[in-house]
Amino acid sequence: MALVASTACASGSDAVASGGNFDFVSPGGKTDIFYDPPAQRGTVGTLSGPDLMDDLQNVSLSDYAGKVVVINLWGQWCAPCRSEADDLERAYEATKQLGVQFLGINVRDPQKDKAQDFVRNNQVSYPSIYDPSMRTLIALGGNYPTSVIPSTLVLDRQHRVAAIFMRALLTDDLQPVIERIAAEQ
C-alpha cells in the first residue's frame, strides 16, 4: 500500500495539530491493525479544530480525557463514508455509556454546508472537526496514510492508538473492539 503524506498551509481558523509519539506501521499492507500490549502503544499529538456544526466552538481530543475515543476520518464526497455512517452511529450509541466518545474529522470538503448536510441527513450525533486542509493528520503521525478515507482509529483511555481500520466499517466490526478497549484497566 502506498503511503502518501501531505501537509497544507493553514489559516488561523484551521485545525491545530502537533505530533505525538505514535509511529504508524501497517505490516503486510493490512487494513485492520491492532497495537498490543497497551504499554507499547503510541499517543497521537494535540488535535483540535473548529466544530463542523458550530463555528463558535472548538473541538479538541483533550476534551475527552479518560475516555476511549474513536476518531473517524470522513468526507461527504466519499461513498464508503456514506455507507458506514449509520454503523458508526449505532456503535457510538451502544458504547457511549462505557465512557466512549466518537470524534469525526471531516477532510477534503471545501464546502462546509455539504459536510453539514451529510451530518444532518445521516443523523450523526457526535462532533466532527471541520478540516478541509487535512492539517489534523499531522497529529496522527508523519507517515499516516492520508489517502485512505474513511479511516477509523480507536484510542484507549490514555489516548494511545489501540486499533486502526483503513476501510469502511460495520457496527459488528467496530463495536466489539471498542468494548474490549473500554474494558481495559
- Domain of 118, CATH number, reads 3.40.30.10
Taken in order 77, 80, 81, 87, the sign of the CA dihedral is: positive
Residue at 53 is within a domain: yes
Q: What is the pLDDT of residues 19-42, one digit of tens each?
A: 566 666 666 778 999 999 998 898
Q: What is the pLDDT of residues 124-147, one digit of tens each?
A: 999 999 999 888 777 887 677 878
- How remote is the C-alpha of 27 from its chain's centroid? 20
Total tally of structural domains belonging to the chain: 1
Name every residue whose Cβ is closer than 8 Å to that of residue 165 and which is 6 or more positions away in sequence. 31, 32, 33, 151, 152, 153, 173, 174
Q: What angle do CA 164, 73, 87 make, to 5 degrees?
A: 80
The pTM score is 0.87
Residue at 92 is within a domain: yes
Q: Note whether 86 and 93 are within 8 A (CB).
A: no
Residue at 77 is within a domain: yes
Question: Which cell goes with 126?
Answer: 457526535
Q: What is the mean pLDDT of the chain?
A: 86
Residue at 8 is within a domain: no
Q: What is the pLDDT of residues 54-93, one digit of tens each?
A: 989 999 999 999 999 999 999 999 999 999 999 999 999 9
CB atoms under 10 Å from CB of 51, counted, come to 14
Q: What is the pLDDT of residues 99-132, one digit of tens each?
A: 999 999 999 999 999 999 999 999 999 999 999 9
pLDDT at 1: 31
For residue 140, give the nearest of 175, 110, 105 by alpha carbon.
105
Residue at 6 is within a domain: no
Q: Note whether 9 and 128 are within 8 A (CB).
A: no
pLDDT at 21: 65
Question: Domain limits at 72?
Answer: 17-22+31-182
